[in-house]
Amino acid sequence: MSTAEGEDVLLPAAKPPKIRRRRLRAILLALMTQYAIIAMIVGLSVAATLHYLVTPQIVAKFEAIEAAFKRLPPS
């Protein structure tokens, strides 16, 4: 019984278990799906906020500026 035999027995046991690629792919797919859903919800929320709250204010300002220009005497 040499020391080489004892080392051969210990080396395979010391290796970490391999992660299967299918499992890793499934985890990555789940994370990307969650990211896509959250990004879509946030994007739609920002678009709705801009459309219903910000855009009318900007249009009202431009209409006020246009009305002010119409009231100016011609030069």
pLDDT tens, the chain, 75 aa long: 555 555 555 555 666 666 688 889 999 999 999 999 999 999 999 999 999 999 999 999 999 999 999 998 887
Chain Cα centroid distance, residue 10: 45
- Is 1 domain-assigned? no
- Is 28 domain-assigned? yes
How many domains does the structure of the chain reveal? 1
- Is 6 domain-assigned? no
pLDDT given at position 63: 96
pLDDT given at position 11: 54
Give this prediction's pTM: 0.55
- Is 36 domain-assigned? yes
Work out the angle at residue 12's Cα, subtended by the Cα atoms of residues 6 and 18, and round it to the nearest 5 degrees.
Answer: 170
Joined tokens for residue 14: 């010391």
- Is 2 domain-assigned? no
Per the structure, the complete domain to which residue 46 belongs is given by 18-71
- Is 10 domain-assigned? no
User: How far apart, in whole angstroms, are the C-alpha atoms of residue 20 and residue 43?
Assistant: 35
